[in-house]
Amino acid sequence: MEAAITILYQASQLMLIAAVVLILYRFSLGPSVFDRVVAFETIGLAVVGYLLLESNATTARLYTDAALGLALFSVVGTIFLAYFLGRGEFPDE
Amino acid sequence: MNELATPLEMVAAVLAFAGAFLFLAGAVGFLRLPDFYTRIHAPTKAASLGIPLMAFASMLVHLGGGFDLWIEDALIMLFVFLANPVSTQILVWAAVARKIRPFADTQGQPAGDSIDQPGTASITTSKDNS
């Protein structure tokens, strides 16, 4: 029982690490700056997921606060970067 | 962790595994798709569902363990599920305004603004033709 749960959490963390490696490769390729912004946001959210999994696996209560703060800063930072890149010139609907 | 695992913890582990698998699928789509507009949808969908799944798993563990931390997991779940599609929408608006070119097989044009510049994905300001 415990071993199965530990193996599931470790496999999940390995999949998140593989996702971060793929996103970093796209970050190095990225033809436009928008790809790099999306890669930045997605790496932040992957770290949020890793912290949540680590919080579950080790029952350490400190990781959840860090995950909440990182989620807030990642998504709101992406919104500000999008406004900066768009320069207020958004297309009409 | 010496005690036997409860069924709640097993359900939480399976949900977290599903969320991590969604995240990996989104990363693969982000690497392989040909275009910015097709490329942005994969990690957005994956993160908008994967992070709330992992947060819901963490919430189940915290509720089962008697911790008070489940409200923070609920906040992560709600915030990512609401704000991540909004940030993606604003990024796509900015990309259309900066005339990031879609790939060659794209049919149709974005409403209100036309992207018809040949060449590679170019970043130009749209001030000189408006």
- Would B109 be classed as within a structural domain? no
pLDDT at res. B4: 60
Whether residue B97 and residue A90 make contact (CB cut-off 8 A), yes or no, is: yes
**ipTM for the predicted complex:** 0.86
More confident residue, B99 or B1: B99
Map tokens 């690497």 to a residue. B31
- Model confidence band, residue B97 (pLDDT cutoffs 50, 70, 90): confident
Instruction: Name which of B101, B104, B105 is nearest B114 in CA terms.
Output: B101
Average pLDDT, chain A: 87
- Would B50 be classed as within a structural domain? yes
> Chain A contacts of B12, Cβ < 8 Å?
56
The residue of chain A nearest to residue B14, with distances taken between CA atoms, is: A8
Judge whether B60 is closer than 8 Å to chain A, CB to CB. no
Judge whether B22 is closer than 8 Å to chain A, CB to CB. no
**B20, B24, B58: residue with CB nearest A55:** B58
pLDDT at B124 over 50: no
Whether residue A8 and residue B16 make contact (CB cut-off 8 A), yes or no, is: yes
Instruction: Name which of A27, A50, A9, A31 is nearest B120 in CA terms.
Output: A31
At B42-67, the pLDDT tens digits run 999 999 999 999 999 999 988 887 77
Percent composition of chain B: helix, strand, coil (DSSP 3-state, to 5): 65, 0, 35
B84 phi-psi bin (left φ>0, alpha ψ -120 to 50, beta other): alpha
Tell me, rounded to whole angstroms, the distance of Cα B120 from its chain centroid.
Answer: 26
Cα A76 to Cα A67: distance, rounded to the nearest angstrom: 14
Instruction: Please tell me the least confidently modeled range out of A54-63, A66-75, B6-15.
Output: A54-63
- Would B57 be classed as within a structural domain? yes
Measured in angstroms, the CA of A48 and the nearest CA of chain B are apart by 8
The structural domains of chain A, with segments of one domain joined by +, span 2-85
Q: pTM (2 decimals)?
A: 0.83
Token digits for B48? 């908008």
pLDDT at B117 over 90: no
Query: Which among B14, B54, B60, B88 is the top mutation candidate for probing chain A, defined by the most A β-carbons within 10 Å of its own β-carbon?
Result: B54
Residues of the domain holding B46: 7-97
User: Are B101 and B119 spatial neighbours (Cβ–Cβ below 8 Å)?
Assistant: yes
pLDDT at A42 over 60: yes
Packing angle, helices A33-58 and B7-32, rounded to 10: 160
Q: How far is the CA of B17 from the CAs of A69, A78, B22, B51, B86, in angstroms?
A: 23, 26, 9, 11, 26
Q: Identify the H or E element spanning A33.
A: helix A33-58
Judge whether B35 is closer than 8 Å to chain A, CB to CB. no
- Model confidence band, residue A89 (pLDDT cutoffs 50, 70, 90): low
Instruction: Please tell me the least confidently modeled range out of A14-28, A31-45, A50-64, A65-79.
Output: A50-64
How many independent structural domains does chain B possess? 1
Cα B118 to Cα B97: distance, rounded to the nearest angstrom: 16
